[in-house]
Structure 1
Amino acid sequence: MRNPIHKRLEKFESWQSLGFMASLCERMLPNFRLFCQMTEQLELANTYQNILNLVWEYLTVKGAKINFDNQLEKLETIIPDVNNYDFYGVVPALDACESLSELLHALIAGEYIERSIKISLNSLHTVIGYLETQQDKELSEAELKGTDEIQQELDVQWAIYRALNECDERDTELLISLKNTLRNEGVSNIGVEIMPEM
């Protein structure tokens, strides 16, 4: 499914791309946290949260030095294997981990545009997978575009994009506001609600 936002993302500065990616990972965190609750592995959700917190710190604290190779190693230990679970919740949990992995790879390799487009698509595919699982069939692009869930996902991505696009230079207050808004809402891209963990 094509998203017109992707052409716009190509014009972002690196800090804007990272802010966009971190925001989408923040929205996917409740999916991973729910999976961790269901499988009684809450410490894994805390690891995800800590890694994401360090990304926000890097974006908002001047001179913050963080070893993202080390964080990627930590992330790789908590990525669920879908073959080990027989319930749907593992899929959006895996998507959340894959998105955070893309974000860390962007920081390590400096590949901001490609990785932000991948995370945008990944978040959209989580919603598509959720709808197709609910309806137990493959949905056409026209059917998908007619759903409230897809419209909401696109609207949120555009809202994050617009907020970042309005700034000519790195705006720490805006980044903190984006993080806090998404975290306090505590609602994922597929409507999972989890109380925020600070």
Structure 2
Amino acid sequence: MKTPSFFSTLDTLNPPQQICFAAAILTRSAPNYQLFLELTQFGDIQLFRQALNLLWDFASGQQNQAALEKWLPQIEQHIPDREAFDMYGVHPATDAMLSLSMAMNCALSPSSEEVDGIAQLALKTIGQFLKYSEVPELKGTELQQYIEQHPLYLQQLDFYDELLDTLAKVKLTPSLIKEIKTLARNDETSHLGISISEEK
């Protein structure tokens, strides 16, 4: 499924703004990874959240690139192997961890295209989830139309639009980052509609 590109807008943002955008997407993906972890005992949600917090701190100027470098091997070590788990949940969990790795790489070496890839991957995750859970019989144009008209897909696009509009118009400040984090948490509900209590 072809997903929309946000590259032209992202390319007008500076690297901290781009990382803020990526971190917001990852925050909304976190419940998918956490549910997979609870079902399989594979992974480390604290690692995910600590790395995500580092990205938020980087966006606010509180962390430098050197502080992020040591996290990449740990993140890559915890990316699930899709072939090793006979359950659908491995796919959104893997997408979340791959996106986290991509975001870390963007912080180390800014790339509008890579951040755009994170946004597109989240939309693909929604599309795969809808096909698996609601319309396994659909394919091709019918499937694409179903996905693109679904509330989950449209909500994610609205989320992107709100983020990009805010980041493009307002200076990135600690108070704004706090607001964006709250928006991204979405009452601990993921972009797949998965709601799970946050780890104590």
TM-score by length of 1: 0.90
* 1:7 maps to 2:8: yes
Give the 3-state SS of the residue equivalent to 2:44 in structure 1. Answer: helix
Please give the alpha-carbon distance, in whole angstroms, between the structure 1 residues aligned to 2:140 and 2:41: 33
Give the 3-state SS of the residue equivalent to 2:172 in structure 1. Answer: coil
Q: Is the 2:16–2:58 Cα contact (8 Å) retained in structure 1?
A: no
Q: Kindly tell me: are residues 103 and 190 of structure 1, through their superposed partners in 2, closer, same or farther at Cα, counting changes over 3 Å?
A: same
* 1:88 maps to 2:88: yes
Please give the alpha-carbon distance, in whole angstroms, between the structure 2 residues aligned to 1:155 and 1:107: 25
Greater Cα shift, 64-73 or 12-21: 64-73
What fraction of aligned residue pairs are identical, expressed as a percent? 24
Q: Which runs of 4+ in 1 moved over 6 A?
A: none
1:131: how far off?
Answer: 0.8
Counterpart amino acid of 2:27?
Answer: E
1:46: how far off?
Answer: 1.1
TM-score by length of 2: 0.89
Give the 3-state SS of the residue equivalent to 2:4 in structure 1. Answer: coil
| Partner in structure 2 of residue 177 of structure 1 | 179
Counterpart amino acid of 2:11?
Answer: E
Q: Is the 1:184–1:196 Cα contact (8 Å) retained in structure 2?
A: no
Give the 3-state SS of the residue equivalent to 1:191 in structure 2. Answer: coil
| Partner in structure 2 of residue 195 of structure 1 | 197
Give CA deviations for 1:17-76 in whole Å, capped at 9, x if unaligned: 1110000011111100000010124x611111111011112222x453452221111101
Alignment length (residue pairs) = 194
Q: CA RMSD in A?
A: 1.8
| Partner in structure 2 of residue 99 of structure 1 | 99
Give CA deviations for 1:126-153 in whole Å, capped at 9, x if unaligned: 0000011121133533232221121111
Q: Which runs of 5+ in 1 are unaligned?
A: none
| Partner in structure 1 of residue 32 of structure 2 | 31
